[in-house]
Amino acid sequence: MDDKVVLIVGGSGGIGSACGKKFAEQGAKVVLAARDRQKAENVAKEINSDGGEAFVIGVDVTDLSSVSKMAREVNEDLGAIDVLVNAFGTAVIQPLLDIKPEDAKSMLDVNVYGTFLVTQTVVRYMATKKKGRVIMFPGSLGKYPMKNTSVYAASKFAVTGFTKALVEENKRSGVQFSLMHFGGIDTPMWENDTVDMRVQKDKMLTPEEVAESVYYAANQPGNSVLNEVTIQPESHQMV
């Protein structure tokens, strides 16, 4: 990973932060893109103080001009993006009849439209160079729906379908895609007001465990691709 450029969208905490630290440890130039720039700056300072190389850029994944500016600046300042990690997302986990339409729309805008915008924009650059890896996080709910996850699972199934279609579309482009179906991960998401699910966070996967798998997917040798992986915590996390 020496000197490779890794763009982590959603790099201000949780999975994105852990991935940033892991890639930086292995010599990559890490770009942490996030709406909350201050949180991303804190992560970057930690990486840089440990001898890594991290940069920060603000982005709104639902705004085309913001996403375009992010991709352009990374390519101009650091070079071609070798790895895109789409680590952003939000959640609405509630019974269907309790979900506020505005909350559903906001989540779908980020999880689906945002994933489309970021991926399309960065893959344009990757296809020109005929190389690049894209890591997606539909999670286990992008494969196995659960009670009270109707709209959230819909957004994650959309990411799964989107990515599988892109695999077929890019077989000759040099751009490779990996789907990461992780079970419950101990992140701040579970404290959101729109998540009505009681969980045992101490039994969940840690962001660091997730980062190890993401690094493995991004660091496959030669032309090999880790297309899809499912990893679940050993113990049940629901209360």
Please identify which of the residues 113, 125, 144, 152 carries the catalytic annotation.
Answer: 152
Identity (one letter) of the amino acid at 239?
A: V
Nearest Cα residue to 236 out of 203, 190, 201, 210: 203
Reduced to 3 states, what is the DSSP secondary structure of residue 54? strand
DSSP per-residue string spanning 1-46: -TT-EEEEETTTSHHHHHHHHHHHHTT-EEEEEES-HHHHHHHHHH
With beta carbons less than 8 A apart as the criterion, state whether 30 and 8 touch.
Answer: yes
Is 152 considered catalytic here? yes
Report CA-CA distances (Å) from 152 to 38, 94, 107, 189, 230.
27, 9, 8, 13, 18
Residue 67 neighbours by CB under 8 Å, 6+ apart: 59, 60, 61, 117, 118, 121
Active site residues: 152
